[in-house]
Structure 1
């Protein structure tokens, strides 16, 4: 059937207002508040990342829509409390991005354009430095007292660790190259082994955290996103383990009663198949 009408952003804003209407809206939507929506926002962001990782681009409009809908909740909460509305979000974002991209908008407004230099010829290192300077100026304007201010506590732990180490690096607190970061991983692993041998549970937890942080720091030096790297490992583990399960079933056994040496052979088979494919 031919589509005769396409909804607009204004229609979506109207939809949210109706859903939140105490008389005519949806009881579930009316009951929501700032904090109740946060877990859904995080979940929807992860679902967007998952669709991209799987290259499920046919699913992406729906997943991005679900994430956008979370922003509409916050905009509606702000509107109801007289704090801000969706148009304020758009204005603040656009203003901030124009200010952070003087190499694109040289006159500081949306209609201005860089002349004569293709994007491919712009010095990306200079762009990155300018971006960080602008963000630092914004932190100063908010009376920030530390390089580590405004890093959200609610971020996934690996992502937050990466941001913490990156901010510290900008302050000059960093290894000169990846070799120092790699040696730190070895050092933290040794300290963990000492606590494991001593049987100190609380110290083991602290040292394990230090090891994970050191690995994240190494990932930054190698220009690897630790979240993506770990998701990739999880995907490979799942595929290999499913192969092991299938092989065990084909042998007529239960995985719980199969010898570990046999499981390891199936695991290595899975890795070989993975490499060959």
Structure 2
């Protein structure tokens, strides 16, 4: 039996796009979870491994486990029919919008971000989230 030709997964692609394409490709050969439930378990496993690595202080292991967790999250995204790259891009945009809200609220109090407490910023962050949900 002839070996399957692996498509190119260029490193020039954004990492999330590349990871999602790799998981899609592997799934075509049956190298995939049968349902989303084991994906959740894999994420919990990877999360635990990252916590252990972080406790060890071993930077190489921390990087490796962070990558494994991110890869598992991309796989979850595929199972949930969302594109990881677009989803993360939207999350970054949301963060920037909320952070701008926080900054404006702090400035309206006559302070700079550096002068604000984390508690103040968190309260305005929560306010920004509530305001977005009401739209």
User: TM-score scaled to structure 2, two decimals?
Assistant: 0.94
Instruction: Name the residue aligned to 1:218.
Output: 76
Instruction: Name the residue aligned to 1:188.
Output: 46
- Mapped pair 1:229 → 2:87: yes
- Mapped pair 1:271 → 2:129: yes
Structure 1: state its 5+ residue gaps.
Answer: 1-142
- Mapped pair 1:178 → 2:36: yes
User: Cα 1:185–1:148, aligned 2, differ >3 Å: closer, same or farther?
Assistant: farther
User: Quick check: which has more Rg, 1 or 2?
Assistant: 1
Structure 2 SS opposite 1:173: coil
Whether the 8 Å contact between 1:248 and 1:255 is mirrored in structure 2 is yes
- Mapped pair 1:149 → 2:7: yes
Regions of 4+ moved over 4 Å: none
- The C-alpha deviation readout for 1:22-53, integer Å capped at 9, x for no partner, is xxxxxxxxxxxxxxxxxxxxxxxxxxxxxxxx
State the structure with bigger RCO (CA 8 A, min sep 6), 1 or 2: 2
Instruction: Name the residue aligned to 2:116.
Output: 258
Equivalent residues, number: 134
User: Shift of residue 152 of structure 1?
Assistant: 2.1
Instruction: Name the residue aligned to 2:102.
Output: 244
Whether the 8 Å contact between 1:244 and 1:270 is mirrored in structure 2 is yes
Cα distance in structure 2, aligned partners of 1:171 and 1:248: 54
Structure 2: state its 5+ residue gaps.
Answer: none
User: Shift of residue 151 of structure 1?
Assistant: 2.2
Instruction: Name the residue aligned to 2:60.
Output: 202
User: Shift of residue 221 of structure 1?
Assistant: 0.7
- The C-alpha deviation readout for 1:196-243, integer Å capped at 9, x for no partner, is 011111100000000000000000011110011111111111110000
User: TM-score scaled to structure 1, two decimals?
Assistant: 0.47
Cα distance in structure 1, aligned partners of 2:107 and 2:119: 16
